[in-house]
Amino acid sequence: MDHPHLHTLVPAGGWNEMAQCWKSSGKKFFIPVKVISVVFKGKFLSLLKAAYNEKKLIFPGETKPPGQTNNFRRLLDAVYGKDWVVFAKKPFKNPSHIIKYLGRYTRKVAISNERIVGTEGNEVIFRWKDYRNRGERKTMRLAGSEFIRRFLLHVLPKGFCKIRYYGIFASRTRKPIIETCRNVLGKVDAKSKFEGLAWQEALLLATRIDVTACPVCKTGKMTMAFSFNSHRAPPST
């Protein structure tokens, strides 16, 4: 079964063109999830209906019957009657969390090699996480053809754009608008921010990764006992 879905990142605020200022969202969350679900469903199906009326939709092969007018109307009625699932997370703590989140969907495939346990005969054995049971890790067996079918569901059609940018991140206006937002919010000079800091301190400030923390007790600090540069061979005579 196909599982069409979107992952969307929304900034905690936006640029107010009339007031020429940055408008931050509330300290709680900016839109209730139930409201997003209803609005998203309405907007999506309204655009889908408009595309159908303008004959922009193609129904090849097995999808030909839904392309008939009466069938398409029944399909819309059935979809309108269903609850659409929209899940909204709280804001990320820092930019590094955003990069990790995006990396999972922009630079990875449907399943990593490490999750594939092996093969037996015509079956593929792989690990999966059961989110209905508190994320319990389980093992599944699938026929090779079914495994490939499910994998190909995650391959985007030719010409399909995987990532799109809107609003202040739109490609045509991103650079000047973001620069304006930074100036209004108070632009921080990266060089002055890290000036005078050791590389360990700069890394901690930028990524919150403390390389001096003891990996065993997690509380103690490690210090450098020696360096290879301090053990140079004496000059020859």
32-71 tens-digit pLDDT: 788 888 898 999 999 999 999 998 988 888 888 888 889 9
Whether residue 188 lies inside any domain: the answer is yes
pLDDT number for residue 230: 46
Within 8 A by CB and 6+ apart from 25, the residues are: 12, 13
Same domain, 144 and 169: no
- Other CB atoms within a 10 A radius of the CB of residue 72 amount to 18
Domain extent, residue 180, equals 164-222
Whether residue 62 lies inside any domain: the answer is yes
**Are 15 and 22 within 8 A, CB to CB?**
yes
Same domain, 100 and 152: yes
Q: End of a domain among 42, 58, 91?
A: 91
Whether residue 7 lies inside any domain: the answer is no
Same domain, 82 and 134: no
C-alpha 222 chain-centroid distance: 35
Q: End of a domain among 107, 129, 157?
A: 157
Same domain, 109 and 142: yes
Tokens 């000036």 found at: 195
Same domain, 71 and 107: no
Residue among 149, 138, 143 at smallest CA distance from 120: 143
Same domain, 67 and 108: no
DSSP 175-236: HHHHHHHHHHH-PPPHHHHHTT--HHHHHHHHH---TTB-TTTSSSB------GGGGPPPPP
**Are 145 and 167 within 8 A, CB to CB?**
no
Residue 143 has pLDDT above 70, yes or no: yes
Amino acid found at 15: W
Whether residue 38 lies inside any domain: the answer is yes
Same domain, 177 and 136: no
Work out how many domains the chain is built from and give that number. Answer: 3
H/E run at residue 46: helix 33-53
Mind spelling out the 3-state secondary structure of 153-176? Answer: CCCCCCCCCCCCCCHHHCCCCHHH
pLDDT number for residue 145: 94
Q: End of a domain among 157, 181, 211?
A: 157
Whether residue 69 lies inside any domain: the answer is yes
The chain-wide mean pLDDT, for the chain, equals 81
pLDDT tens-place string over residues 96-111: 788 778 777 777 788 8
